[in-house]
Structure 1
Amino acid sequence: MSNELHTKIEIEEVYLKPFSSLSLRNLYIEDLSHDTLLFAQELRAGIDLESIRSKEITIKDLTLSNSRFYLKKKADSVNNLTFILDYFSAPKQPKRKSSFIVNLNSLKLNNIHFRYKNELVKRHTAGVNFNDIDILGLHGDFSTIDFKNFLLKADIKGLKFKEKSGFELKRLDASFKMDSTSMNFENLSVQTNRSKLGKQLRFKYATLADFANFIEKVEIYAETEDTRVDSRDIAFFAPGMNQVAFNVGLSGKLKGTVRHFKGERLLLKTGKATYLRGNISVAGLPDIEKTIFDLDLEQFATIKTDLEPSIAGFSGQKDFKLPAILTSLGHVNYTGKARGFYNDFQLDGSLKTVLGQVDARVAINLKDENSYEGSLKAERFNISGLLDNRQVGSVSLQADIQGTGFSLNELNANIKSQIASVIYKGKNYRNIRLDGTVDARVLHAQVDVNDRNLKLQEKLLSTFVARKLPMIFRLS
């Protein structure tokens, strides 16, 4: 065979049990360039020769241990394994009487070193470079193998390895199918450096070369449960993700590319007290400054001390801060829609807090001056928690607001409000119209009160002192 293949093939030891098994030790095969193609310290095969007269050999089980397999694609676009595959493939010309069809049913890998180099591509890329792969410590069991109808179909158990980039597959179990345009993992259970995935995962692509541009060209379809995804693991395949940081628990359905994906019936958990339930669309990653989020939320629950570092990590802005006023709201639950950038967005929904509930239709920009514009509706909202003043109790109101700043020192806003009721010094005042502006801790407003205990139509100037309710009134 060495002469027929025009290369060097050496075997130190051969043990053959007729019609049953074959064992080889220190098998060495060179490619046509006289570089190492395969070295197998031990190769054991269970063989079925029932169809040998039809030039068909079935390997029932093949075990490779402590082996090296070095594959390369050469400048002529042919890989260094092609000459062997051609030799064993079904004959295309009648004169090739020596050709056999070889079937493989199962494969066991123990401590394999696999390397693939595409010599046509010289460009270096960060993370896993699919044109220059180097895998160490490869272990795994492959059963029910099918090469006839697929590039590869197999049930995989216990697959693990480390790649030179630092990516580690700690364990993968799945029913796997691969053809020229897709990879499909069913009954999936996989653990990597910091992530864990389960249930089903499918990649779609035009050619395998698309993995070199994983972010834009590889479509992902995933149905997940009991899954945790860490951005650092994604970055091995999409280096642009290095600028963001997140670790999220996930269940639901995802489809699309890293650049633009959608999620259906998602449950996402991150931090200590933040979780999201609903449908999402995300477009623009990994450039977080240009990424648009479109969220339809059944529930979004969080707290400022948890949400702030999560946004800072996801945005790559380590100094990102949420308005201090959110601390007073405690744990919040939001139901509704949110659309826009992480720091410039629109809300249309209901927010439940420890101080009460607010229905909001508002645009918020957190980039510079913390600007906002929209309408609010509150029922029995405990405004004293925001103003730090026990003289004021709950308030029910509808208001249109436009302004900047969330603290009293920064507040500059125009307000048009209809206050249905407000508790002040233990008394409930109703039917109040207040239109005005707040600037530099001073409220200028037209106030109309139509309460049975108070009738008032006045222009009012009020100064806020140390976050207290107005301490100075001047009516005109």
Structure 2
Amino acid sequence: MLLALLVFSLQFKSVQTYFAQKAAAYLSKELNTTVSIKSLYIKPFKSIVLEDLLVLDLQKDTLLSTPAFMVDINQLSIKKKIIDINTVQINNGTFFLKDFKDNSSNLDFIINYFDSGKPSVKDSTKKPYKIDFGRIIINKLNFKYKNFKAKDLTQGKSVNFDNVDVKELSVIMEGLDTKNHLFKTNIKNLTLREKSGFYLKNLTAETTVDSNAIELKNLLLVTNQSRLTNYYQMKFNSFKDFNKYIDNVRMKAIFKDSHITSKDVAFFAPELNTMKLDLDVDGQITGLVNNLRAKKLSVKSGKATYIKGDFVIKGLPKWEETFMDLKIDMAGTNKTDLDEVLAGITGKKKKIVPSIVNKFGNINFNGSFTGFQNDFIAYGEFKTKLGKIVSDVNMKIDKNDVPSYSGNVKTYDFNLGNLIDEKSLGHITSSLYVKGRGTELKHLTEKLNGTVEYIDFNNYRYRNVKIDGTFDKKYFDGNLSINDKNIKLLFDGGVNLNPKLPVFNFNATISGAKLKALHLLKDSLRVDAKFNTNFSGTDLNNIEGRLRIQEITLKNPKGTYSIDSVELMASGVG
């Protein structure tokens, strides 16, 4: 009768609470700390509700506290060794884990108390308990972790995995598996705030966590400024590798309609704190932050900058030391956007891209880009407002942002006059070897060798031009030939347009020059002649030097006139 009465009394919350408090007091004495419970209610084989649980560690700091801990049970069978839990719910709890310098933790004293040691011989005939969790719900848990063996070098600017302080952690986890992994579960609506300022608004994913890997399938990750989908995996030797994420954590990411900001990434890679970069991303990325490979990756930034292709990037986040091997299916940008993007990457506020690039308008490119940001080879096709360019060029940019370049360039109906602000010039189609330095005409030094299919000058299109010479600012020295239907020209020498009085020092042979067709005269006149010059000036009033013209033939509708030679010498009368 007494036993029956005792069993019956245990159905009441007050009785259960009494025994629970006695057990807590006993544990407090045994563990030499504080364990307290306000109330406990157990509905046999159905549910457990525990209120105001508090456990202090041996330093009398809070190890665990929660105002409400609830367990809802589907099935509990001692005989069949089945524990099937429908829901575990924790509300407004606090958990503070510490690792001390002697390699112990503030949880060890509890683990050691309940650890009876491993049996010497495992009884394989005994059936283990099958424990299943249907769902775990955590509402606004505060979690802290402190590793006293490590120094905090982040100064609060990024997440330090040796000193974590998470507030308002809420999550729903379904289908928990701790048998084959540290844990595997479907995470829904995980949200938290870390003391560094990192705010995770939502993480939903099929999640697997092991001691050397984390995998997130069907991922949705939303922060204050970023949104990531669809797959993310991290591999590492231990969780300590997260403190050197850039060098030690190997990633695999498959992005779909994702938006990433460097500000969020910097919480885990503080070296990126100086960057200001927003990216829209689709495609696959693998590797370390400092050694990335991308496949079928599409990246957009700014208003008009985009790139799509397969890439290898080594050296991030040190942009000036970063090597890029980019196989580009298509890319586009303009000067305004490029200045903004590069300023965000480098942290430099000044305009980085030469002003002449603005004349190209929106630039579209396909091909390859290999090298560093200030020393690279660009091979491929550029489509611009000025026309099309096909290049195989090595470019180097010095500390003063002045470029030097060498390689093969082909232009197709390219507006050269607009590029160099020369109204007398128009479009050009050419195939040239180019070696030069500078971008502005007044500073330009350039060696050219190749053929020009056509070039517009003075509103006439000259065809079949060959050139082998050097431009130095406004000085040209070299060989030039034209085989046009309205003029044949062989030129050897130099022309200097820099001074107020231009200098001409060359030999030239002209044949079949139809000056009206060339828009040089209004009247019909054909000229054949040989020139030998060494003079300066713009007209008869300021000319100085020598001009010798031989084998002259002038032909107009009225007749043909031949002159053996003419030689002019002048000292310039002003």
Q: Deviations over 1:309-358 (max 9, x none)?
A: 10121122322421111111111111111011112211111111111111
Q: Can you give the 5+ residue segments of structure 2 that lack an aligned partner in the other structure?
A: 1-22, 122-127, 508-574
Shift in Å, 1:31: 2.6
1:105–1:146 CA contact under 8 A, matched in 2: no
Corresponding letter in the other structure for 1:388: D
Structure-2 change in CA distance of 1:465 and 1:333 (3 Å): farther
Q: What's the counterpart of residue 406 of structure 1?
A: 439
The answer on 1:309 being equivalent to 2:335 is: no
The answer on 1:51 being equivalent to 2:77 is: yes
CA RMSD of aligned residues (A): 2.5
Shift in Å, 1:53: 4.9
The answer on 1:35 being equivalent to 2:61 is: yes
Distance 2:217 2:135 in 1: 18
The answer on 1:17 being equivalent to 2:43 is: yes
Distance 2:185 2:298 in 1: 31
**TM-score (norm: length of structure 1):** 0.92
1:89–1:100 CA contact under 8 A, matched in 2: no
Q: Deviations over 1:373-394 (max 9, x none)?
A: 1110112212222133443332
The answer on 1:382 being equivalent to 2:411 is: no
The answer on 1:232 being equivalent to 2:263 is: yes
Q: Tell me the SS of whatever aligns to 2:320.
A: helix
Q: What's the counterpart of residue 167 of structure 2?
A: 136
1:183-262, aligned counterparts within 5 Å?
A: 183-262=214-293
Aligned residues: 470
**Which of 164, 169, 186 is equivalent to 2:200?**
169
1:14–1:25 CA contact under 8 A, matched in 2: yes
Corresponding letter in the other structure for 1:423: D
Q: What's the counterpart of residue 389 of structure 2?
A: 358
Q: Tell me the SS of whatever aligns to 1:409.
A: helix
1:88–1:101 CA contact under 8 A, matched in 2: no
1:47-446, aligned counterparts within 5 Å?
A: 47-48=73-74, 50-53=76-79, 57-84=83-110, 92-93=118-119, 103-126=132-155, 127-367=158-398, 368=400, 369-446=402-479
Structure-2 change in CA distance of 1:39 and 1:258 (3 Å): same
Structure-2 change in CA distance of 1:39 and 1:464 (3 Å): farther
Distance 1:148 1:297 in 2: 46
2:297–2:309 CA contact under 8 A, matched in 1: yes
Corresponding letter in the other structure for 2:253: A
Shift in Å, 1:218: 0.4
Q: Tell me the SS of whatever aligns to 1:105.
A: strand
Distance 1:20 1:358 in 2: 76
Corresponding letter in the other structure for 1:121: A
Shift in Å, 1:398: 1.1
1:90–1:100 CA contact under 8 A, matched in 2: no
Distance 1:254 1:81 in 2: 39
Shift in Å, 1:40: 0.3
Structure-2 change in CA distance of 1:69 and 1:89 (3 Å): same
Q: Tell me the SS of whatever aligns to 2:317.
A: coil
Corresponding letter in the other structure for 1:109: I
Structure-2 change in CA distance of 1:357 and 1:340 (3 Å): same
Distance 2:82 2:97 in 1: 26
Distance 1:93 1:272 in 2: 67
Q: Deviations over 1:221-264 (max 9, x none)?
A: 00011111111111111111123221111010000011111110
Q: Structure 1 residues 365-374 or 286-295, which shifts more? A: 365-374
Q: Tell me the SS of whatever aligns to 1:78.
A: coil
Bigger relative CO (Cα 8 Å, ≥ 6 apart): 1
**TM-score (norm: length of structure 2):** 0.77
Corresponding letter in the other structure for 1:50: L
Distance 1:325 1:474 in 2: 31
1:442–1:464 CA contact under 8 A, matched in 2: yes
Structure-2 change in CA distance of 1:284 and 1:62 (3 Å): same
Q: Structure 1 residues 419-428 or 357-366, which shifts more? A: 419-428
